[in-house]
Amino acid sequence: MATIKQEPDAAPCGGIELHTAHTLNGIKVAILLEELKEGYGKEYTVFVMNGSERETMKHWWIRIAPGGKVPCVIDRDQGRYAITEGHAILNYLTRHYDPALQYSFADPLEACAAEQWISWLHAGLGPAQAEAASFYRFAPDRQLGPTYYFYYKLKRYYNELNNHLAQRGYLAGLEGGRYSIADIAVWPFVDAIGVAGMELESYPNVHRWWRSVRERPAVGRGMRVPGGRPFVYSYEVGQRWAVDDPGGMRNAERPFRDALEAARQRFGD
């Protein structure tokens, strides 16, 4: 793993570069890259784009990645082609580097079902969870209206996911489905459900699916890229905190939980 301080031209590596930060969108790409490493021996190099490095956006990064965003995959074996946006990255990587279709589908209808769920994450659960977290946790003051609005939206998405998984093991694929980029796309967000003040245990089918995906070694490694630790709002971090320092966790969460409870009281649940 390398921290990049200059334009990647000068970086001493070839093949696939993952330019990332420890975000949910970054983790999903890292999980797929870990799977491809395990499944095919395909190597990749991580470059960390943290706060200070993002300053460089003004200079060269913005030319490569639209909007200066991370994650961005650069493929040096394809003329230094740069790709942003999770859906496009997952499709690109499997099209080029998953010839045995271990994580993707040959059948066009199964492939389309995977795309529907990736797209559902992109346009639906992903933004809803980001905004729910913004108003539940990160806004400077507690605003009941938007807190409730996004909580309610997010809850609908989790119910939808829970219903879909009632008779299935994985999001896409015939019959009970099989593990694929659809699961990889959605899993990191579900893993971080606590960021928005919600609980995995409320959605038993989602919880079961979460566990079976979590058991994959590549998922365990990918969720720690970069930095070697799980995402700060991941399920495991939350569980460990609740055991190690229950009072500390309750105190930290109390203002958020109280505001959400007040919002539910006011607007109905």
- Where does this chain bind a copy of itself (CB under 8 A)? 66-67, 78-79, 81, 83-88, 91-92, 95-96, 108-109, 112, 115-116, 118-120, 122-124, 126-127, 131, 134-135, 139, 141, 143, 145-146, 149, 156-157, 160, 164
Residue among 192 and 216 whose Cβ is closer to a copy of itself? 192
CB of 79 to a copy of itself, least distance (A): 8
Alpha carbons 205 and 145: distance in angstroms, whole number: 29
Residue among 143 and 239 whose Cβ is closer to a copy of itself? 143
Q: Residues 29, 219: contact at Cβ < 8 Å?
A: no
| Tokens at 72, concatenated | 């961005």
Residue among 58 and 244 whose Cβ is closer to a copy of itself? 58
Candidates 119, 96, 113, 93; CA nearest to 29 is: 93
CB of 1 to a copy of itself, least distance (A): 25
214 residue type, one letter: R
CB of 67 to a copy of itself, least distance (A): 5
CB of 159 to a copy of itself, least distance (A): 9
> Residue 199: left (phi > 0), alpha (psi -120 to 50), or beta?
beta
Q: Residues 136, 261: contact at Cβ < 8 Å?
A: no
**Alpha carbon separation from 194 to 45, 84, 88, 197 (Å, rounded):** 30, 26, 27, 5
Residue among 1 and 174 whose Cβ is closer to a copy of itself? 174
CB of 141 to a copy of itself, least distance (A): 8
Residue among 40 and 81 whose Cβ is closer to a copy of itself? 81
Residue among 87 and 224 whose Cβ is closer to a copy of itself? 87
CB of 236 to a copy of itself, least distance (A): 26
